[in-house]
Structure formats: structure tokens, C-alpha cells
Amino acid sequence: MARPKGFKKTLNLNKLNTGDLRRDELYDDVARGNAYLPQGVMLEDMDREFVEFVNSDLTITLDGEKVPVIFLTIQKWAEFTKTWQHSDKFNNIKIPFITIVRNPDIQSGENQGGYWNIPGRQNETYIKVPTNEHGRNGMDIYKVPQPTSVDVTYEVRFFGNRMRDLNKIHNQVQQLFNARQHYIRPNEHFMPLHLESVSDESELTDLNARRFYVQLFEIKLLGYILDASRFEVTPSINRALVISEVIEDKCDPTVKVKVGDGQTITYTIISNPNAITQVTFKSLYDIKYNELTEVKNITNIVLTVDGSPVTIPFIIKEGQNLLIDFDKSSALTGQFNLNGFIL
């Protein structure tokens, strides 16, 4: 039973990426084989991809056999005919076949819309990659040269001896370029192909000679050269943990003395925030100290008379030195009273 027109044997059920996801996908393709840098592309990469394009998209199948494709440079036609593997039993070239010749005169390209490169051949930043080395955060800068635009012209010739074969190759070519351009991907870089002209080179003047059609398709590749040997990776910023210690001039605690009735005496020690936690003074009298009162934000008070630790109650003679050490938070104000009476 004949299938209806437009019948599809297979359906692609995978949803294609669009927008930012598609851009990320294209970026991954260009950087394939390298974590961050793109793949380089040279003229030989363009030649290889163009031959693959002709082999896969432009060639046709006639009488059950795929039309062979040969890529020619400046070698002589006689040398080509001697080494050509598609020959009949009389060593004559079998027709049809397709040849590809790349014009050697590479021109300045139009890939960048007619804009020129920045002078100086400096490398441009391609991507910045965060790094972490021995606990230090930094960044590496990956740089690539600005691509050099080139126009590469290929001459694709179809050799055939039947008009219907010529019609078939024309149908193939016109459908491929019905949107003005067709893209190929040398090393995953998108580059457009333009069909510049179609001309006939058939030799039909000698009616006794072997007749065949030669159809020339001139196709221009709007490509660019990206030299991978000029890629560079340079470290940019290293962020290290820097700790600065600021030493402030700490003030001494405030000591207030109050002599009351009955020969009582009170030393009030006030230590403000960030003040030192030690005070020393010379006794003006013979005094017996008997208690510590009104202790606020102070811990672990140590009393020393002329280098000898003492505990409450104790007696200090006139002229002896009293050293008081205490502990407190540097952010708080500490205070306590040392009470006694004059002997």
C-alpha cells in the first residue's frame, strides 16, 4: 500500500533546547575536548569539513551507487586519471563523479560583516575561571586571539553523461541553498556557505567525441581562522586571608581613695573597656584591709604586697607596694572596692 505524501518513518520525541539552554549547548560544542577554551580552526579543518559536506549533503545516488567525490589541489588531471580508482575494465574514467577544487587565493573575509580586527593582534578575554589553590581563592583568565576572517572559494564540478542525472544534482544543490546559505561546522564552529554561481563547462562541439556534462557550482565559505597555538591562560587575582592585628594604647584603671569617719579607708578601682587589668600603688598609711565589696564584671582578683601574695584580711605597711591583678571582659567596665581602716 502506498504511503501518503509527507509520511514520516521516525519521529523525534526529544524536546530541542531553546534560548539560554541552546546557547549553552552551542558553547559546550565549541569547547568540546577542552574544559574552557574553544577548539582552534585552520584552513585544513575547513577543507576537511567541506569535503564531508559534499560527501554527505551534496552527493547523489545513481543506479544504486553513490556518486564518488574527489578533492583536488593543483595536481595535474593526467595524474588524477592514473590514480583514480573508479575506472572501467578499459581503465577509462567512470562517469558520473564529483570533483572539489579549492581556489588557492584566500581572500579577506566577510564573516564579521565587513568589520576589521583590532590592530595589534592582542589576545582578548574569552572566559574567567575561579580557582582555589591551597585554600586561596583566585581566578584564571583564558584569552584567545581575535579570529581572522577569510573567504574560501570551492569549485564543485559534477561530471555526468545524462540530463536526468544533471537534473538530480541541480535539485539537490538548489534545495540546500534555498535560504541563501547553508552552514557547516569545522571543529564545531558555525560557518556559512554561499552558492555564488552555477555555470556549464560541457564540451559538446565535437559530435564524434565522447559527450558528457560538466556542471560547475562555485561555493564560497565565509570562515575564520582561530589559531590554537596563541591561546593563553594567565592567573589574575589571588585572594588570601589577611588578618591584621591592631594594638591599641590601653589606659590605666582609675583609682579613687576615700577616707571616712573612724579612720576607715576605701580604694575604688574602675577599669573601663579596653583598659589594662592591673593596678599598683604605694600605701600612704599602715592599713588593714578586710573586705572586697561592690564587685562588678570582675573575676579572679589577686593581691600582692611587695611581690608576696596575700589574702583578705591583710596588713600593709606605709611605703609598701600593693599590686592588684584581676580578670574582666575587655568590652565591659569593671569595678570593685577594697575596704580597710588606718592603723
Task: Render 226-258 in DSSP notation, one character per residue.
Answer: B-GGG-EEEEEEEE------PPP-PPPPEEEEE
Structural contact between residues 74 and 104, judged by C-beta atoms closer than 8 angstroms: yes
Say if residues 144 and 239 touch (Cβ distance below 8 Å): no
Q: If we measure between CA atoms, which residue out of 326, 276, 331 comes closest to residue 300?
A: 326
For domain 254-342, give the CATH number. Answer: 2.60.120
H or E element at residue 315 = strand 314-316
Model pLDDT, residue 122: 84
| SS3 state at 120 | coil
Distances 333 to 151, 153, 157, 266, 302 between C-alpha atoms, Å = 82, 87, 97, 19, 18
Pairing of strands 97-102, 69-72: parallel
Percentage of residues of the chain with pLDDT beyond 70? 78
pLDDT at position 342, please? 83
* CA distances to 64, 155, 157, 216 from 198, in Å: 26, 10, 10, 6
Cα angle 182, 183, 186; round to 5: 145
Rounded to whole angstroms, how far apart are CA atoms 260 and 339?
11
Give the highest mean pLDDT range of 12-26, 58-72, 197-211. Answer: 58-72
Percent of the chain at pLDDT > 90 equals: 20
For cell 557550482, what's the residue? 217
pLDDT digits (tens, 9 = 90+) for 112-160: 777 788 887 888 888 888 887 777 788 888 888 989 999 999 999 998 8
Mean pLDDT, the chain, as a whole number? 81
What's residue 273's pLDDT?
A: 83
Q: Write out the residue limits of the CATH 3.30.2000.40 domain(s) in the chain.
A: 20-112+147-227
**CA separation for the pair 22, 60 (Å, rounded):** 32
Residue 11's pLDDT is 66
Distance between CA 33 and CA 35 in Å, rounded? 7
User: 290 versus 236: which is more confidently predicted?
Assistant: 290
pLDDT at 308: 86
Place 53 in a pLDDT band, splitting at 50, 70 and 90: very high
CATH 2.60.120 in the chain is located at: 254-342
pLDDT value, residue 244 = 63
Q: What is the structure's pLDDT at 248?
A: 60
DSSP state of 3: P
Asked whether the beta carbons of 236 and 128 are under 8 A apart, the reply is yes
Summarize pLDDT for 107-116 with one digit per residue, the tens.
Answer: 988 887 777 8
pLDDT bucket at 259, cuts 50 / 70 / 90: confident
- CA-wise closest residue to 155 among 45, 44, 47: 47
pLDDT at 217: 95
Alpha-carbon distance values, 71 to 28, 97, 297 (Å): 31, 11, 93
| CA torsion, ordered 84, 79, 76, 86, to nearest 10 deg | -10
Mean pLDDT within 229-242: 74
Q: Quick check: 93 pLDDT over 80?
A: no
Tell me the one-letter amino acid at 27: Y
Report domain 20-112+147-227's class.
alpha beta
DSSP strands (E only) in 134-184: 136-145, 148-160, 181-184
CA-to-CA dists, residue 270 to 89, 249, 311, angstroms = 118, 17, 20
